[in-house]
Amino acid sequence: MRVVDLSVPVYQDMPSWPTLPGVRVSRYRDAAIHGATIHLIEMHTHSGTHVDLPAHFIPGGETLDEVPVERFVSYGTVVDLSYKRAGEEIGVEDLEWFAEHVRRGEAVIIYTGWSGRRGRNPDYLYRWPYLGEEGANYLVERRVGAVGIDALSIGGWSESTPVQGPLARTPSSVTHRILLSARVIVIEELANLDKVLEERRWRRALFIYAPLKIRGAEGGPCRALAILED
């Protein structure tokens, strides 16, 4: 058995959603001075590797403390879609190549290679490959339990994204609403998926993406892991 860490590190001013407050990490106490070291962390619930739950886009949807903990553990498959270009939509035709591995109740984890571009740069912050409306509907029809991606969001960026309303139809909001209304857990900003694939086009694993149990929260940071049976 081998465990692969699929989470990005959390640190001061790390890359995050451009229209939301950045991450702040500071040392509050130092063991050499105060006898114990303690840090203060200020971050929104969609910073770094994290999960999105229905309440993120669906009024009255499930929150972190309402989702059974077993739903954050699932078998599933990483699929290699690293041929997709910057800002390109992932559609049904891309996912159908892996149709036999898209299974009811399991996780589909999309490898774009974008975690390798992680930084405060336009490609990572605005132009990642994203799951489009038809692709999202396809995964819902296959009744998957979770969808993950190694990019800033499962949906795409739009110039109108900062002013989304409850009825907005941006690439991000449409994809999120389709998945979350079907109670599909979304996992974003994954990393090291290439270490799972190891040059394969797909690979099955057991995935863990358990978030902090924040009462009433619509999402939250998680430590995502892939457990491989070599």
For position 218, what pLDDT does the model report?
98
212-to-42, 45, 64, 156, 216 alpha-carbon distances in Å: 14, 10, 8, 26, 12
Euclidean distance between CA atoms 89 and 95, whole angstroms:
12
Report field, pTM of the whole predicted structure over 0.85:
yes
Asked, for residue 35, whether it belongs to a domain, the answer is no
pLDDT digits (tens, 9 = 90+) for 88-99: 999 999 999 999
Q: Strand 219-228 to strand 73-80: parallel, antiparallel, or no bridges (unpaired)?
A: unpaired
Euclidean distance between CA atoms 104 and 82, whole angstroms:
24
Q: Which domain holds residue 122?
A: 2-8+44-228
CATH number of the CATH domain containing 96: 3.50.30.50
- Report the number of distinct structural domains present in the chain: 1
For position 163, what pLDDT does the model report?
44
Euclidean distance between CA atoms 215 and 23, whole angstroms:
21
Asked, for residue 194, whether it belongs to a domain, the answer is yes
pLDDT digits (tens, 9 = 90+) for 133-164: 999 999 999 999 999 999 999 999 976 554 45
Q: Residues of the chain whose pLDDT is less than 70?
A: 159-169
Contact status, residue 228 vs residue 1, Cβ threshold 8 Å: yes
